[in-house]
Structure 1
Amino acid sequence: MIYTVTFNPALDYAVYLDSFELGATNRTTREELRCGGKGINVSIVLHNLGVESRALGFLAGFTGETIRAWLTELGVASDFITLPGGMSRINVKLKLDGETEINGQGPDITPDALETLYGKLEKLREGDTLVLAGSIPATLPDDVYERILARLEGRGVRFVVDATGELLLNVLRYRPFLVKPNHEELSEMCGTVLDSADTAGIRACARALQEKGARNVLVSMAGAGALLVTEDGRCIRQAAARGELVNSVGAGDSMVAGFLAGFQRTGDYRAALRLGAAAGGATAFSAALATRSQVEAVLETL
């Protein structure tokens, strides 16, 4: 079973405008509302690809109940912890000559609620996969990823971490099965400047993460595609899917989901990378997270 953890889920409210004037009344041309959060995105795309997963994390208030109901309607299994106060975030995405985001804070996560999450994670067993994705809310200890991996170390659970900076670097000693920075995040962690076309530099930095403990490093490089450095010493390039960019939100999460789905089905890194690229591209070319038919259509072009 694949489990995903989203510490701070949200309702993402996208509003499209022809123009915007600060301090004035602005009217939208259309709106879109969906549930969001990196782990939730992974679970939704896994479900769309026919792979079972369970979404974990924290919800609060009427927005939290809306997220829970939405996932149920989609058919995505979840086991969220309900917090006693506050409400899950509403993130506003202003779509006007690019995207401007206004992200909510989210509810306070109490120590008791965090212990409840630890208890749920204690049920993971050998062969399960745990996906930790995204930033840590201010109400949680900043080493919470490390605490989780330390508790599960030695149980044969595959760890997948999609995070940045110290949050990622500090968990590498727990030998995560997969980490997925983009090339800019990889640049920051390696203290250098990497162009998306600098295959040699990206490969070297990815291998530096392996030396710190990562088993497989998947680097997304926007229009330059993706690069996977595997634990068996290979470096596999994958060209980017070709299409019109509609919405980049969730594309990286979709790549993670596609990779996991492909690896679960085939056990082959090249096939997993190809499906990951197709899923990421299909989401980028869609108004929402990609469906199975959209992923399969993009896959045929790679």
Structure 2
Amino acid sequence: MPAVVSLTPAPVIDRTYFVESFDTGKVNRATEIQEFLSGKGINVSRTLRIAGVSTSAVLPVGREDEHLLFRTPFPQVLRILPVPGRMRVNTAILEPEGRTTNVNQKAVPLHERDWDAVVDMTLQEIRALRADWLVVSGSVPKLVESGEKIDFTRLFSEARRIGTRVAVDTSGSSLETWATSGLVDCIKPNADEMATLVKRHLNTVGDVLEAAREVIERAGLEVVLVSMGGDGAMVVTRDEALWGYAKAPQVVNTTGAGDASLAGFVGHSIQGPGQRGGQADYGELPALALKSGLSKAVIYGAMAVSVPTTIIDSLDGAPTAEITVPDPDRPLSEPTKFFETPSA
């Protein structure tokens, strides 16, 4: 069985307001409010836990918000490093037809000593699980002392040295920095983020495929998993590409679908001996099973949009996946948004 360690450098308190309708600039009444500890890497590990994949989720938690640990789903996967202060809050307003309005707080800065401790804890978990994948997801915080973003070089270098692939799911300048660092095996952009990486609009599935191959060639990545919303997802390597789709039982909330998709891929994409044997502390890297990984990616993504929060509590009734070669002429249902200056 594969094993996956996730790291959420900037975990969050997810606060969801359920409303009958939402009018901008007006007083709106919530019919229900849910609040829990969350973050993209935590979402990945929770989904993997449901799927029976061995996983742990490393995260720094503000001491003033530790009370949330007593009512967070699947606490057994969490590996907590207490840090000073509070955590950021992400607010979602969810309407009955599935439209979601998000207001996300910026990542809270970390002290250098705390970041070093987070790296040490993550490497400890990787060794303990003999992890096939390290998944680093979400916003990238800055250091209190320098104001610069935290540096993943030591973490990524050591993880790869001991035989663990590194997957990154972030956005803006952080995605561009680490996607091209030579220290990452996999990235999971959406179509907009893919457009930003290649600095042009993408209008068709073929455009997305060409962009992914361009980034692989430029950055030396092994694989790119592109989530495309209602247009499905693609997994792309230097020599192979597959497109996948699974019909969601219903569309309730799209937040967290990308996290579930990444969980499906890393949790089900391991098979056979690899090509870098002898460089890892515990033997050869296994080859990737792209079809199996993409199939679970689109299935888990479809399940994620059918629940009101970012937490999938069951995979019962999961749809089947359609996997085929990409149709390059197929237009994207939603035009990509290319930002000249990516946000942090």
Q: TM-score with structure 1 length normalisation? A: 0.87
The within-5 A match list for 1:147-158 is 147-158=154-165
- Structure-1 residue corresponding to 2:327: none
Deviations 1:95-130 (A, max 9, x none): 358333233446442111111112223433465421
CA separation in 2, counterparts of 1:205 and 1:77?
Answer: 35
Q: Would the alpha carbon gap of residues 269 and 226 (structure 1) be closer, same or farther in structure 2, given more than 3 Å must change?
A: same
For 1:99, the aligned partner's letter is T
Asked whether the 8 Å contact 2:4–2:131 carries over to 1, the reply is no
Cα displacement (A) at 1:236: 0.5
Question: 1:260 aligned to 2:266?
Answer: yes
Cα displacement (A) at 1:244: 2.5
Deviations 1:191-237 (A, max 9, x none): 11112xx1221111111121111101111111111111135x11111
Cα displacement (A) at 1:147: 4.4
CA separation in 1, counterparts of 2:92 and 2:192?
Answer: 22
Asked whether the 8 Å contact 2:5–2:55 carries over to 1, the reply is yes
Moved more, 128-137 or 14-23: 14-23
- Structure-2 residue corresponding to 1:132: 136
- Structure-2 residue corresponding to 1:179: 187
Moved more, 237-246 or 46-55: 237-246
Question: 1:163 aligned to 2:170?
Answer: yes
Asked whether the 8 Å contact 2:64–2:86 carries over to 1, the reply is yes
Q: Would the alpha carbon gap of residues 164 and 265 (structure 1) be closer, same or farther in structure 2, given more than 3 Å must change?
A: same
Cα displacement (A) at 1:143: 5.0
Q: CA RMSD in A?
A: 2.5
- Structure-2 residue corresponding to 1:276: 297
Does 1 or 2 have the higher relative contact order (CA < 8 Å, sep 6+)? 2
SS at match of 1:29: strand
SS at match of 1:223: helix
- Structure-1 residue corresponding to 2:331: none
Asked whether the 8 Å contact 1:109–1:139 carries over to 2, the reply is yes
- Structure-2 residue corresponding to 1:15: 17
Asked whether the 8 Å contact 2:142–2:150 carries over to 1, the reply is no
- Structure-1 residue corresponding to 2:53: 51
Q: Would the alpha carbon gap of residues 100 and 80 (structure 1) be closer, same or farther in structure 2, given more than 3 Å must change?
A: same
Asked whether the 8 Å contact 1:62–1:87 carries over to 2, the reply is yes
Q: Would the alpha carbon gap of residues 77 and 191 (structure 1) be closer, same or farther in structure 2, given more than 3 Å must change?
A: same
CA separation in 2, counterparts of 1:242 and 1:116?
Answer: 40
The within-5 A match list for 1:217-228 is 217-228=224-235
Identical-residue share of aligned pairs (%): 23
1:216 aligned to 208, 212, 223, which one? Answer: 223
CA separation in 2, counterparts of 1:154 and 1:273?
Answer: 26
The within-5 A match list for 1:28-107 is 28-66=30-68, 68-71=69-72, 74-84=74-84, 86-96=85-95, 98-105=99-106, 107=108
CA separation in 2, counterparts of 1:80 and 1:146?
Answer: 21
Asked whether the 8 Å contact 1:176–1:214 carries over to 2, the reply is yes
Question: 1:244 aligned to 2:250?
Answer: yes
Cα displacement (A) at 1:64: 3.3
CA separation in 2, counterparts of 1:220 and 1:79?
Answer: 28
CA separation in 2, counterparts of 1:262 and 1:51?
Answer: 9
Asked whether the 8 Å contact 1:132–1:145 carries over to 2, the reply is no
Question: 1:204 aligned to 2:225?
Answer: no
SS at match of 2:162: coil
Cα displacement (A) at 1:133: 0.7
Unaligned runs of 5+ in 1: none
CA separation in 1, counterparts of 2:24 and 2:75?
Answer: 40
Q: Would the alpha carbon gap of residues 300 and 215 (structure 1) be closer, same or farther in structure 2, given more than 3 Å must change?
A: closer
SS at match of 2:247: coil
Cα displacement (A) at 1:177: 2.8
CA separation in 1, counterparts of 2:253 and 2:151?
Answer: 30
Number of aligned residues: 294
CA separation in 1, counterparts of 2:225 and 2:234?
Answer: 6
Moved more, 33-42 or 166-175: 166-175
Unaligned runs of 5+ in 2: 273-287, 324-344
Asked whether the 8 Å contact 1:47–1:76 carries over to 2, the reply is no
